[in-house]
Structure 1
């Protein structure tokens, strides 16, 4: 009996460590230091920055009933911030053990904080260097 519990505990520990690595990679893709994914509550504040929403959304995610709506919206904004569509959001919600690693280690690129339209639009614009000498036409 003890061996079964020990085996189960090691299996669950391996899953937790794996998801820390996954979130570390997602944070790095979004231009944040990976270590921010290791701090339990701080991780969610940073995730709100990545998706472009204010920190107080975390409080809304703690209200029973309301939290379901805001968590789904946040996951959708996460997938949109990485250039994915609503189908990918459904995958993140119902089959996260597959889709989060795909987001972290796949070809998805962070394209901007989808929840902040102005910042998302600015991230879509090509960089323009105002200090570079301009060619006259």
Structure 2
């Protein structure tokens, strides 16, 4: 509940900030207060197609799309320093509030087309062997990335790629029980394809990448349960044959621990994903 309240308050602050940002960019301020429309306008202000905002509906992917849109919006205001981008990603409502309400800050232009045009000038000067012009363009390049930003972007891309692969394609598992001891032993590691029998789409709209159910060190889940998406599975690449090993959700039944906030299975308990406080109560 605390997370939902935090997200709701943050969204309200973000909408109010976008209202002023849109006004500076020549858009109607009320568009910043309309859910969905505000992200469409936001995408257009940074030089993306309006349909780009639809990617915000895809779990895991939306985290990185949102972060990229935050960075591109502050850069559209001429803010190219690393701390500008970092603050926008960490908590965009604060950064956007400053951009929108400060009289000194002005919206310049959609950053992505401007950046592409500048690099086309550099490429043209390089192809025409205009050394002096090339040196001038590279020296005055406002879009040049520093080493810190390059490392951060590389790490973010690596996390995104790993999260996407883990969520939709392949995930590592350990054998939890002795039911397959003739071929697999308890504790064995294996990689499991998530695509062969149909990719199951996420049922949460927001989760922390690369974590399984709980956040280490915190007595909190790594995803929000509400609002939730309906169960859906994409078409399978092949059907399940007899005697093929499969990974499935632990069957619920007698081995279930029921608490007011949720129900935990024995599988959750064995994997250590159950709340530490509840685990102590069980033991």
Structure (1 or 2) with the greater strand fraction = 2
Tell me the TM-score normalised to structure 2 length.
0.35
Tell me how far apart the structure 2 counterparts of residues 77 and 120 of structure 1 sit (CA, whole Å). 16
2:43 maps to 48
Kept in 1, the 8 Å contact 2:71–2:89? The answer is no
Following TM superposition, by how much is the alpha carbon of 1:56 offset from its aligned partner in structure 2, in angstroms?
2.2
Q: Does 1:116 align with 2:113?
A: yes
1:88 maps to 84
Matches within 5 A, 1:10-89: 18-85=13-80, 86-89=82-85
The 3 A distance-change label for structure 1 pair 120 and 22 is farther
1:104 maps to 100
The 3 A distance-change label for structure 1 pair 104 and 66 is same
Following TM superposition, by how much is the alpha carbon of 1:68 offset from its aligned partner in structure 2, in angstroms?
2.3
State the superposition RMSD in angstroms: 2.9
Per-residue CA deviations over 1:11-67 (Å, capped at 9, x if unaligned) read: x98876654432211100111111111221111111111111012212222222222
Name which structure has the greater RCO, CA cutoff 8 Å, separation 6+: 1
Tell me how far apart the structure 1 counterparts of residues 21 and 74 of structure 2 sit (CA, whole Å). 11
Tell me how far apart the structure 2 counterparts of residues 60 and 46 of structure 1 sit (CA, whole Å). 14
Tell me how far apart the structure 2 counterparts of residues 90 and 79 of structure 1 sit (CA, whole Å). 10
**When the two structures are aligned, how many residues end up with a matched partner?**
112
The 3 A distance-change label for structure 1 pair 120 and 34 is farther
Tell me the TM-score normalised to structure 1 length.
0.67
Where do 5+ consecutive residues of structure 2 fail to align? 119-283
2:155 maps to none
Kept in 1, the 8 Å contact 2:45–2:110? The answer is yes
Structure (1 or 2) with the greater helix fraction = 1
Where do 5+ consecutive residues of structure 1 fail to align? 1-8, 122-137
